[in-house]
Amino acid sequence: MSDHTATMPMHAAADRRMKGLALLVAAAAGASVPLWTGNVPFVLILASQAVIAAIVALSLDLLMGSTGLLSFGHAAWYGFGAYLTGLAAKMLTPEMLLLLPLTVAVTILLSAIIGFVLVRQIGKTFAILTLALGQIMFALVFVMSGITGGEDGLQGIPVPTALGFQIAKPAVWYWLLYGILLASLAGAFHIRRSPLGKSWLAIRENTERARFIGLDTGTLKLLSYVVSASLAALAGGLFALFNGAASPDMLNWFESGKVLMYVVLGGVGTIIGPVIGAAVFTVTEHYVSSVTNSWLIYFGGFFVLIVIVAPGGLFGAGASLWARITTARRGASA
């Protein structure tokens, strides 16, 4: 028994180095997108949308993948961030260094209040209430159509500035969004390895046991909910400023469902999986939907297939394949 545990740290270190290298290469590849799409601004815009979708998926994974809480209404916070930022940009200032912190601060407050009620519900009730929350936010856009623009969406959001400089060029936008994605990823990985992240995982694993070792599961779940909501709202705010408009579709259950699918497809709790899942499927969705109107059928079918054959998501499947290959190689060399 102790034989192979003693040698494990070495393999683990080598594995970590490989993974670090792979992440670095992937990060660099992502950052290089504007360099080779320079003359096709449309591709860059699509890539930017993929990055935003990735941030939203990451935000949901911070909830689902950490504490195991299943949200069917995550678009509520994405859309809330978009409308709040858009409205503030129109009424107060186009300075995003004020707008985005404002959006995050308001979301922290509101999601703490709503989350306080939600996280005290168990399992199914929580999921159903999140769905209801999404639909309430959706309905609010229509109820307050005087200021939100109702069905037409919120139009005429001014071009934002950062420290007074206008952010308008697609490449600048892309790098800005991409930088925020990388920072969020780094934050998510850091939290995962921190005591807080480990306490979250304990809740996902076994909430009852967690309570009996003294973990305040209510507060911990609330923290995870607030972090998740705030990041989703930040992504929504970024989208509104990037796009110059927000639409009620952003709040719809359909949007929530899509984000949920990205996370499941990518691999719940893997952090990087949902990010890749969201990016890949945003791009795929664009091209496939321009070819056929029934892309949703293919997407749904693919989703069902993945859930059945690779319940750990694409990233989970990839990781276990990788583990099998490396152990086979190790076995051969030993």
Binding residues (CB under 8 A) for other proteins: these are: 1-2, 5, 8, 190-191, 194-199, 201-202, 205-206, 208-217, 219-220, 223
Is residue 42 within 8 Å of residue 99, measured between CB atoms?
no
Residues 6+ apart with CB under 8 A from 297: none
Cβ-based burial of 82 (10 A; exposed 0-12, middle 13-18, buried ≥19): buried
- In the complex, minimum distance from the CB of residue 65 to other proteins, in angstroms, rounded to a whole number: 12
Q: How many residues would you count in the chain?
A: 334
Helices (H), 92-169: 96-118, 123-143, 145-148
Report the residue number, 74 or 204, with the smaller CB distance to other proteins. 204
- In the complex, minimum distance from the CB of residue 191 to other proteins, in angstroms, rounded to a whole number: 6
For the record, the structure tokens of 153 come out as 């969406």
Report the residue number, 151 or 216, with the smaller CB distance to other proteins. 216
- In the complex, minimum distance from the CB of residue 25 to other proteins, in angstroms, rounded to a whole number: 28
- In the complex, minimum distance from the CB of residue 178 to other proteins, in angstroms, rounded to a whole number: 24
Cβ-based burial of 127 (10 A; exposed 0-12, middle 13-18, buried ≥19): middle
Provide the angle, in degrees to the nearest 10, between the axes of the packed helices 217-243 and 96-118. 140
- In the complex, minimum distance from the CB of residue 323 to other proteins, in angstroms, rounded to a whole number: 14
Report the residue number, 164 or 214, with the smaller CB distance to other proteins. 214
The helix/strand count (H/E) of the chain reads as 15, 2
Is residue 295 within 8 Å of residue 288, measured between CB atoms?
yes
Cβ-based burial of 293 (10 A; exposed 0-12, middle 13-18, buried ≥19): exposed
CA nearest neighbour of 78 among 42, 45, 111: 111
- In the complex, minimum distance from the CB of residue 113 to other proteins, in angstroms, rounded to a whole number: 20
- In the complex, minimum distance from the CB of residue 244 to other proteins, in angstroms, rounded to a whole number: 35
Report the residue number, 108 or 196, with the smaller CB distance to other proteins. 196
Angle, CA 91 vertex, CA 89 and CA 92 arms, to 5°: 70
Report the residue number, 61 or 285, with the smaller CB distance to other proteins. 61
Residue position matching structure tokens 């990041």? 231
- In the complex, minimum distance from the CB of residue 312 to other proteins, in angstroms, rounded to a whole number: 12
- In the complex, minimum distance from the CB of residue 211 to other proteins, in angstroms, rounded to a whole number: 4
Report the residue number, 129 or 191, with the smaller CB distance to other proteins. 191
- In angstroms, rounded to a whole number, what is the distance separating the alpha carbons of residues 291 and 324? 37
Report the residue number, 110 or 201, with the smaller CB distance to other proteins. 201
Report the residue number, 145 or 219, with the smaller CB distance to other proteins. 219
Report the residue number, 16 or 169, with the smaller CB distance to other proteins. 16
CA 60 to chain centre: 5
CB environment 306-317: b (16+ within 10 A), e (fewer): beeebebbbbbb
Residue 154's DSSP bridge partners are 246
